[in-house]
Structure 1
């Protein structure tokens, strides 16, 4: 015999799922997030395409000196103006974008591969190996990319190799720590124990079961790493320790143009600065969007 609950005593109807937002609201927020992520990805692809095909399409030599055309403001012939030597700033901007992306992506790729392998190995093996390698990585973390770049520029000479090496070396510990923390949570899972009971070697467990499970976190870290790499390249170029003139590079272009800001030639520094701002913002937004998309519960939060 069941008691009948009076209508007035019944609880008011609420959203399903224990107080969560209604399904249409959740779907609307998800659609906005996915749409934003697609827009950011399209922006980065457009930036990459501009850097790759922009210089040949524009057709002007970024190193061609034309002193009669020096310090010309933006016009139809020179949309970004000219610098103190009459060189087309747009042509130099496009080549600078190519250099920043090439050095940054190569450095991030190298550091992500090395850091992922180190983090997965130390997290899976543990013990003394984990402790020793962990302390070595902590020592590398004491040197920011700019400081490491300055040291390598003094030792090897300024250039793209020393800049890329500094970014790659200082980035390895971040990937290693990210992957190690995820591997430590995977190490106690049943499927890893089953593989060990079956006699699977460590290399098999690492490549077939551990690495595929941590690639999401690595992708997020790499997206953010490109932004930091672009800033480091520009910072070293601004200090005169990065890629050297006459090769176009955004940080060096800002340094060359800052002395002309007072006299009104703003375009020499503003356009490279806007390029850095746009590329860093897109890279950071992609990293944040990937983190929210791949990890809605916040496990990849710093």
Structure 2
């Protein structure tokens, strides 16, 4: 007797839409905060995140200081909001640099094949085998602190991911009939790469971009916790967590809670956005 095959349950379409909407709202909130934080400071709505208030120190959350103050006399609310600005600056720059380098290299490697493909694969696989945080820490020691330097340290570890995704798609798309027809009509490799292959393999890049951005926030936090990445006076969540670590055993919980929550919410928002984009570009993966 043949057993009854039950259909595989699928998530309701509204669930994916709601999760993506939540990711968009969370990400949009942090973008607005990052863009308008200096304006809020000018209007007097935020304290100077780099200025020590001296007195009071270690004040719990109150009407005067919504997230309390730190051992260094900083306003935690102001530092937390300005931390989103530093995170977005570094993360957007890092993921953009890796995208600009990884996508063209993946297209060229996948289309040309042969020795060029083997050489690029060797270098990219070598970088890909190194842990992202370890590679970023090593590069941060070499290039030093700063927004652009931190972006470079982060971007190197993401270039192979764009390369591998684009290369794999290119190797499968270049055998399609419309590519062969373009070659038969005398189209140059540059024309084929930019006109046909690029627009057929670029669909998965936005998904990878958002997921890499979420991962970059965590790595940037790790660099800040180790005292690397951005200048020490810059409001940055990882560095603020390091400064607050000594105060935690004394019952001062607010200096670690709020920067940690901000980092968690921002990573969650970007991850949900990436999963939502994945469902849009790859409907077969929803199951």
TM-score, length basis structure 1: 0.87
How many matched pairs? 279
Q: 1:161 to 1:144 in 2, by over 3 A?
A: farther
For residue 185 of structure 1, report the CA deviation from its aligned partner.
1.2
CA distance in 2, matches of 1:265, 1:55: 28
Query: Could you say which residue in structure 2 is the equivalent of 1:203?
Result: 190
Distance 2:285 2:193 in 1: 24
Match 2:247 to one of 251, 254, 260: 260
Alignment of 1:40-189 (within 5 A): 40-57=23-40, 58-189=45-176
* Structure 1 position 34, deviation (Å): 2.1
Q: Do 1:80 and 1:90's aligned partners in 2 also have CA atoms closer than 8 Å?
A: yes
1:75-121 deviation digits (Å, cap 9, x = unpaired): 11111111112221111111111001110011001101211111111
Between the two structures, name the one with larger relative contact order (CA 8 Å, sep ≥ 6).
Answer: 2
* Structure-2 separation of matches of 1:292 and 1:226: 18
Higher Cα Rg, which structure? 1
Asked whether the 8 Å contact 1:123–1:130 carries over to 2, the reply is: yes
Q: Is the 8 A contact 1:223 1:287 kept in 2?
A: yes
Equivalent in the alignment of 1:214: 201
Q: Which moved more, 1:156-165 or 1:188-197?
A: 156-165
Quote the RMSD (CA, aligned, Å).
2.1
Contact 1:250 1:272 in 2 (8 A): yes
- 1:207 counterpart SS class: helix
Taking the aligned partners of 1:32 and 1:132, their CA distance within structure 2 comes to: 44
Distance in 1 (CA, whole Å) between partners of 2:217 and 2:265 is: 11
State the Cα distance separating 1:223 from its structure 2 match: 0.8
Equivalence for 2:3? none
Gaps of 5+ in 1: 1-18
Q: Is the 8 A contact 1:62 1:92 kept in 2?
A: yes
Instruction: Quote the Cα distance in structure 2 between the aligned partners of 1:192 and 1:153.
Output: 43
> Do the aligned residues in 2 keep the contact of 1:237 with 1:244 (CA within 8 Å)?
no
**CA deviation string 1:227-270 (max 9, x = no partner):** 11101100011011221321111000000001100111111111
Q: Is the 8 A contact 2:20 2:275 kept in 1?
A: no
Output the CA distance in 1 between the equivalents of 2:30 and 2:147. 21
1:297 corresponds to which residue?
284
Q: Equivalent of 1:230, from 200, 217, 221?
A: 217
Taking a change above 3 Å as real, the CA distance of residues 215 and 161 of structure 1, as seen in their structure-2 partners, is: same
Correspondence for 1:10 = none
Query: Which whole-Å deviations, capped at 9, do the CAs of 1:145-199 have from their partners, x for residues lacking one?
Result: 3222222232222333332111111100000001111111101100000011011
Question: Would you say the 8 A contact 1:71–1:83 is kept in 2?
Answer: yes
> Which moves more between the two structures, 97-106 or 43-52?
43-52
Worse-matched range after superposition: 134-143 or 146-155: 146-155
Give the Cα–Cα distance (whole angstroms) in 1 for the partners of residues 100 and 110 of structure 2.
15
State the shift of 1:20 in Å: 6.7
